[in-house]
Each structure stands twice: as C-alpha cells, then as structure tokens.
Amino acid sequence: MFKVLILLTCLALGLALGPQLAGNKGYVLIAFDSYTVEMSVTSALFVSFICFCILLFTIWLLRWLWLSFSRSTNWWGDRRKQKAISHTQQGMLAMMRGDYQHAEKLVSKAATYSSTPALNYLTAAEAAQEQGQDKKRDQYLEQATRMTNNDSAVLITQARLQIKQQNFSAALNSIEQLPAESRKQAPVRRMLLQILPELDQWQAYVELLPIAYKAQLLEDSHYQVELSRSYQALFLELANTQGADKVAAYWNAMPRKQKKSMTIAAAACQALVLSGDSAAAYQLLGDLLNKHHDPELLAVAAKLQLSDPYPLLQQLKGLLRKSPNNAALLNLIAQLYLQQQQWPEAKDYFEQSINIVASRESYQGLAESYRQLEEPQQAMDYYRQALTM
C-alpha cells in the first residue's frame, strides 16, 4: 500500500509540474570518467521514474520467487514428515504383530525425518534384537544415544534389552548411568528386582525389597518369600566368607524393626545351619525362641545338628508348659527325640501333636517311631495316613 501511495504521489507531482517544466526543460549533465550523459530535467525525471518502477518490479519478482521456493521446500518437507509418521505407525503395528523384520525396516527408514528419531531407533534396536542381530541393535542404540545425549529412555531401553539376553551385568551398568531420580521410577526398580538376585548382590536386594513393597511393586506373599530368600542368601554368604561371628555382628547391627521379623531371624539361623555351625545358630535361636514361638523359628530348630540337644529339649519343654496346645512345638520335641533314637518319647509327642493338628510330618514321624518299636502294622497304618495328607 505504501508503494502505491508513492507512485500516486509521483504521478500527481508529474501532472502538476509537467506543464511548468515543459516551458523550461532545464539541463542535466552526468559525467563519469570519460563518459558524459546530457538530458533535460524532464527526461531525467522520467528516466528516474522508470528506474524506480523497474526496481519495484525486481523486488516483487525476487520476493515471489523466494516465497515460491519456500512453499515448495515446505511442501516437500511436510510430505516427508507425513511419510515418516506413517512409516513409524506402521512399524509400531508390525512390532505388535511380531513382524520384527518389517518393523525394523519401517522405523529405521522413517527416523531421518521423524519428529522423535530416538524413538524410531529404540524401536529398531528392539526389533533387531528379536531377530538375533546384536550388532545392528548396538548401532541403533548408539544412534539413539547421539540423538538424545544419553537420555534416560535410551538407557532404560538398553537395560531392558540386556535383561532379555540375560546380560545382567551390562544391564546393571546401564541402570547405574541413570540420574538418581530416574532410578526411582517403578520400571527401573522392577528391572533391579530381576537383576540383583542374578548377580548375588543380596545387600542391595534386601535394601530394595521394602522400597518396592511400599511402592506396591510386590504382592505381600511374594515379598515375604523374597525377603526370606534374600536374607538367607546374604547371611549364608557372610557365614561362608567371614564366619558365624560376622553373621551375629550383622544381626546385632540391624535395625530393631527388622529384628522383629521372624522371617529375617529364621533366615539368619537357617544360614548358620546350612554353613554347618549349628552351635552358633542355636545361640541366636535360643534367645528368640524364649520370646517367640514362631513356626519358622521352630522349623529351623528342627534342622539343628547339635552334639548335645539336651539344653534345647529342656528349653522347648519349658516353652511347652506355657503353650501346651502348640502343635508345632510338640512336633519339634518329637523330632528331637527321634534324632536321639528315643522312640517311646518321640511316639508320645507325635501323638499329642496329631491330636491338636494332624500333619504329614507328624504321621511320618509317628510311623517311623512305631517301626523302630517293631510294631510294623501300626507303622504301615500311619504311613498310609501320611500319604493321604
């Protein structure tokens, strides 16, 4: 609009001044080096006007050409992006169908013009691994890393793929490169729950389990089983490598809240028994049994191999006077008598245990007692009842 006003102004001036200049044309001389140009003022103004119009036309033409080029470039760019989006979507669907070769081809081809190239390379890496092409997988992961500068998504995907290959050491290394906040994410903790036991990193595992349970990553029953397994492995490792004293020291240094868990306490005693130090196990177990008649503790006590079980028997009988209807306690006393080949006493306690709660172990122990007492018919009857439990 501004340019049009300039043109109209020039025309108006020409119309106004034209008649006056016609009578007095004036004189214009332009000299440059050895060249001279002579013309009237009217001609000079006319030439200037024509040059100005040519300049405006040239600017308009260049602008039109630039806009046309830009629109063409944008059109091709948009077309490539749309094609990349389409290939990426098709590749994701192929991954879900299990067509990994087609999926890899589509997502890797679309990565160059994709708005999220790292996602394409990560998907291609997973597809390559599913085809057993580890070298190509590593190349895709390297490309994804360059795109995101070690982004957490790349490291997490890399760890997940390494777990699938059961390369747990490499997976743990990938996770350790994550920022502290990323390591708190639920998917990362789930991976650690798989990795740490495989690498026998029991200390880290027992520290992770309560956190994972609180975050509802484990069911209660699974949590209790894993807690017992992990502490048993940890205590057994300490007993085998550093001796029973180290187990006792570790137990004493544990928080009071953990010591209240009979699962953990039983694991400590079980580890000492498995390491062949039943005396140390009884030293720890004896104090616990005075406070708790827990079935897990009693089950560990039944595995003790004591040179002199008399102190344990006396302790258990003292506990029995306080809890006369404790079937597990009666069964344990009977088992100790059975180990000492005191068949009549073992028979009596097994019978008392069965009268309260019948179990396969009690029937088997009672059958063995009758067999040793040379009453084969009774022994056969109780063996049959044990098989029906």
pTM given for the model: 0.58
| C-alpha separations of 199 from 171, 192, 205, 278, 341 in Å | 11, 10, 10, 28, 43
Closest CA to 386 of 363, 369, 370: 363
* Tokens linked to 148: 């995101």
Look at the alpha carbons of 200, 202, 205, 210 in this order and tell me if their dihedral is positive or negative: positive
Helix, coil or strand: residue 166: coil
pLDDT at 193: 92
CA distances from 146 to 140, 143, 151, 152, 370 (A): 10, 5, 9, 13, 76
pLDDT for the residue numbered 74: 55
User: What is the rounded CA–CA span in Å between residue 172 and residue 191?
Assistant: 9
Q: Are 389 and 362 in contact (CB under 8 A)?
A: no
How many Å apart are CA 365 and CA 383, to the nearest integer?
A: 9
On whether the CB atoms of residues 154 and 181 are closer than 8 A, the answer is: no
Phi, psi of 114 (to 5 degrees): -75, 150
Spell out the domains of the chain, with CATH numbers in brackets: 315-389 (1.25.40.10)
The residue count of the chain comes to 389
Rounded Cα–Cα distance for residues 292 and 329 (Å): 11
pLDDT tens digits, the chain, 389 residues: what are they? 666 667 667 666 665 665 655 555 566 667 777 777 777 766 777 777 788 788 888 888 888 778 767 666 555 555 666 776 677 667 767 767 777 787 777 777 777 667 677 777 777 887 788 787 778 877 777 777 777 665 777 888 888 888 888 888 988 988 888 888 888 889 899 999 999 999 999 999 988 998 999 988 888 888 888 888 888 888 888 888 888 788 888 888 887 777 778 888 888 888 888 777 788 888 878 777 777 777 788 888 888 887 778 888 888 888 888 878 888 888 888 888 888 888 888 888 888 888 888 888 888 888 888 888 888 888 788 778 878 87
Separation between Cα atoms, residue 255 and residue 286, nearest integer Å: 20
Taking the C-alpha atoms of residue 348 and residue 338, their distance in angstroms, rounded to an integer, is 11
Q: Are 270 and 300 in contact (CB under 8 A)?
A: yes
Backbone angles phi, psi at 137, to 5 degrees: -60, -45
115: three-class secondary structure by DSSP? coil
Predicted pLDDT at 192: 92
Report the pLDDT value the prediction gives residue 1, as an integer from 0 to 100. 63
∠ at Cα 127 (122, 130), nearest 5°?
Answer: 130
- The DSSP annotation for 38-105 comes to EE-HHHHHHHHHHHHHHHHHHHHHHHHHHHHHHHHHHHHHHHHHHHHHHHHHHHHHHHHHT-HHHHHH
359-376 burial, b at 16+ Cβ within 10 Å, e below that, comes to: bebbbbbbbbbbbbeeee
Residue 75's identity, in one-letter code, is W
